[in-house]
Amino acid sequence: MTYIVNDLCIKCKYTDCVEVCPVDCFYEGENMLVIDPDECIDCGVCEPECPAEAIKPDTESGLEKWLEVNAKFAATWPNITVKKDAPADADDFLNVEGKFEKFFTEAPGTGD
């Protein structure tokens, strides 16, 4: 098992989770974070830290796509280990549906 970040993170990109991760397995895209499934030690401390509830165990059904997305972009996006301010409009995107299709970008973030 590993944890993944799903589309609830897109355009919200709260980074509370990165500070509690003991193995620094978060990677930053332009408008979301991902977890490297090979680095994640399945401790689960990040899950309750996410205000958007975007972090889930990969054992939940229907998350296969997100496991692939996390693995793919963790390999190319920069590592993030320090909490940053969320986007000013993050709360406006908390309950928006279809965020992957509407807003996802493959562009990397800045990392630490």
Question: Are the CB atoms for 51 and 17 separated by under 8 Å?
Answer: no
Token readout for 111 is: 């990392």
Question: Are the CB atoms for 65 and 23 separated by under 8 Å?
Answer: no
| C-alpha neighbours within 13 Å on the C-beta side of residue 53 | 2
Q: In this predicted structure, what is the pLDDT of residue 1?
A: 82
CATH of 3-83, one of 3.40.50.720, 3.30.70.20, 3.30.365.10, 3.30.70.890: 3.30.70.20
* 108 beta partners: 29
| Annotated domain spans of the chain | 3-83
Q: What is the pLDDT along the chain (112 residues), one digit of tens a residue?
A: 899 999 999 999 999 999 999 999 999 999 999 999 999 999 999 999 999 999 999 999 989 999 999 999 999 999 999 999 999 999 999 989 999 999 999 999 999 9
Q: In this predicted structure, what is the pLDDT of residue 24?
A: 97
Alpha carbon distance 46, 85 (integer Å): 17
